[in-house]
Amino acid sequence: MEGIINFFKPEGMTSHDAVYLFRRLLGMKKVGHTGTLDPMATGVLPICIGKGTKVSDYLSNVDKEYIAEMTLGVKTDTQDSTGKVIETSLKKVSKDEIISCFEGYIGDIEQTPPMFSAKKINGKKLYDLARKGIEVQRKKNKITIKKLEIINIIDNKRVIFKVLCSKGTYVRTLCNDIGEDLGTYGHMSYLLRSRVADYDVNSALGMETLKSMTKDELVRIILPLDSALTHLPEMQLDSSFFKPLSNGVKLEIDNVDNLVYNNPIRVYVGGVFLGIGKVYTDNDKVILKMEKVFNG
C-alpha cells in the first residue's frame, strides 16, 4: 500500500491523531501527514501511506487555501477562539475600512509566528513554552498571500474570507494583525482548509466514511504517489531509461527548455511514474539525476 488519502480532518482532532487513525485502519506503521492542521481547524489533511511518506516534504511546500472567519473586537493569547481573552475593544469599524485593510495584506508580507504554534526555537516547541507562561523573541517570516477574498462581512464585526497563501502562513496571525491594524483587535473564530495542491475539500473523505470501509475498500481509494506532485514540472522518457535511472545512473539528456534547472521534477519512463529527479548542467552537458525512485 502506497499513495495519498485525501482526508477531511474533523474539529478537535490533532494531525497526530489522524496519523494514528490511519495506522489502525490500514494495519501499518508507515503513515504520515503533510503539515500540521490545528485541532480547531477542519478540512483537507493529505495522509501519506507507505512510500507516500517520501513525497510529504514536497507537498508541505505547496500553497494552501483556507476559508476562515475573523471576529473583531477581541484579542486572545492563541489568536483564535480556543484561547484566553486578553484584550477587548468597543471600537466600531466600517465595511470600507475592513476592505481596505484586507487589500493591504495581499502580496509578500512578514509575519511573526504565534507563541501557540508547533514552530521550534532552540529545539523547543513554542506552544510548550507558551503553556508555561514563557514568551520568547521570534523572527518574522516572509510569506506570500496570493489571494485574499472577502466572502461576507457581518455587522462589521465578523468577516468570512478565503485566502490562498504560501507555506508558513498562520491564518490566525493574519486575523490578529488585521485586527491590530484596524485598532479594534481580532482573532480567528473558524478555519477550514479547503485545498492543498490538487487535494480539494469537495473530494476529501470524512472519518465516519473511512471507518465504515473494509480494508480492501480503503486500499482502492488510495490515490497514486504522483497525485501529490502535480505542482512539479514533468519529464517523459522512453522505457529504455528505466534501468539506468532506477540504479542511480546520471544520464546526459537533450536540453529541456520548459524545466527549471536544479529544481525537482516528476520523471516518467514509458508512461510510468519513476520518481523525482533534477536536471542540471555539468561542463555544458545537461544531466538528469534521480533523487527519489518510487517504482524502480
Catalytic residue set: 38
Question: 83: closest CA among 185, 181, 195?
Answer: 185
**Cβ atoms of 272 and 295 closer than 8 Å:** yes
Cell numbers linked to 64: 494552501
Helix residue ranges, H only, the chain: 15-26, 56-60, 95-103, 126-131, 171-181, 207-211, 215-220, 242-246
The phi and psi torsions of 290 (rounded to 5 degrees) equal: -80, 135
Distance CA 261, CA 100 (A): 40
Pairing of strands 3-9, 205-206: parallel
Cell numbers linked to 174: 493574519
Report CA 284 to chain centroid distance, whole Å: 37
- E-state strands within the chain: 3-9, 31-33, 42-49, 64-72, 74-76, 85-88, 107-111, 120-121, 124-125, 141-154, 158-165, 186-196, 199-200, 205-206, 234-237, 251-253, 264-269, 272-282, 285-293
**Cβ atoms of 198 and 227 closer than 8 Å:** yes
Helix (H) or strand (E) holding 166: none
Residue with cell 487513525: 21
